[in-house]
Structure 1
Amino acid sequence: MTQASSFNVPGTYLFDGDMAMKGYALNKMCFSFNSAANRQAFVADEAAYCRQFGLNEQQTRVIRERDVLGLLAAGGNVYYLAKFAGILGLDVQDLGAAQTGMSKDAFKQMLLEAGK
């Protein structure tokens, strides 16, 4: 896992080909959440749903623990993870806040200041 260096934001990782391969099953599962029926199936039995997509032990654990940094380290792509976050009532800014250890409001303020 390679820590991003060109834009150093704590908790971010370079999503390269190796990470894409590592996270393929996890990202495929999260993409499936575009379907309401799949979201319902996941909520009904998370463990079975993870097995259906072939998640490894690390990926299954971080899904169960709702560990955003762990999901990224396990090869998760934030755009696919947003589908998972939606099931939990979270958005991409919630994920960014969790990545950086900030509150959502502090994260939003950081983004505003960075854009100036």
Structure 2
Amino acid sequence: MPLDKPYAGIPGTTIFDADQSRKGYWLNQFCMSLMKAANRERFKKDERAYLDEWPMSEDQKLAVLARDLNRCIALGGNIYFLAKIGATDGKSFQQMAGSMTGMSEEAYRDMMVSGGRSAAWGRDTEENK
């Protein structure tokens, strides 16, 4: 019996709960493997071959190859694990977050320094249409 998820309707937000954890288990395990230098080198040498060693879904593998972090999150990825991909690519967390919002690193930084997005961002309400 699935649990009630009152948080499921938050626009633009994927909550990393038990269901997401189960869905993304192997994706997140792959990410954690990148903590070892030897695995990072193997991944950089042939990304597809390294991904194929993991029992991830094809959608998860394609999202990693495209560095589509929003898609990875939708497929069960946890941002703290996905950060290992960015680190492997030489990207800062700020650069990754900017890419996930469609903003440049500088625009993302400036937005966050200015207090972040409005609480109304992404909400599907009459006053925000």
* Same fold, judged at TM 0.5 (above): yes
CA distance in 2, matches of 1:3, 1:31: 27
Shift of 1:48: 2.0
CA contact (8 A) 1:85 1:91 kept: yes
Stretch moving more, 29-38 or 96-105? 96-105
Deviations for 1:17-75, whole angstroms, at most 9, x for unmatched residues?
Answer: 11111111011000011100000111122122112121111011111111121111111
Unaligned runs of 5+ in 1: none
Mean Cα deviation higher: 65-74 or 76-85: 65-74
Q: Could you say if the C-alpha distance between residues 35 and 98 of structure 1 is closer, same or farther in structure 2, counting changes exceeding 3 Å?
A: same
4+ runs deviating over 6 angstroms: none
Q: Calculate the aligned-residue CA RMSD, in Å.
A: 1.9
| Max Rg structure | 2
C-alpha displacement of 1:3 = 6.1
Other structure's SS at 2:114 match: helix
Per the alignment, residue 53 of structure 1 pairs with: 54
Look up the match of 1:37. 38
CA contact (8 A) 1:4 1:13 kept: no
Equivalent residue letter for 2:68: D
More helix by share: 1
Q: Greater CA deviation, 60-69 or 32-41?
A: 60-69
Distance 2:34 2:19 in 1: 24
TM-score in terms of structure 2 length: 0.77
Q: Name the residue aligned to 1:89.
A: 90
User: Is the contact made by 1:62 and 1:68 (CA closer than 8 Å) also made in structure 2?
Assistant: yes
Paired-residue identity, %: 37
Tell me, yes or no, if the aligned pair for 1:30 and 1:81 is still in contact at 8 Å. yes
Count of residue pairs the alignment pairs up: 110
Q: Following the alignment from structure 2 to structure 1, what is the Cα–Cα distance between the partners of residues 84 and 57?
A: 19
Distance, in Å, in 1 between the alignment partners of 2:72 and 2:90 is 17
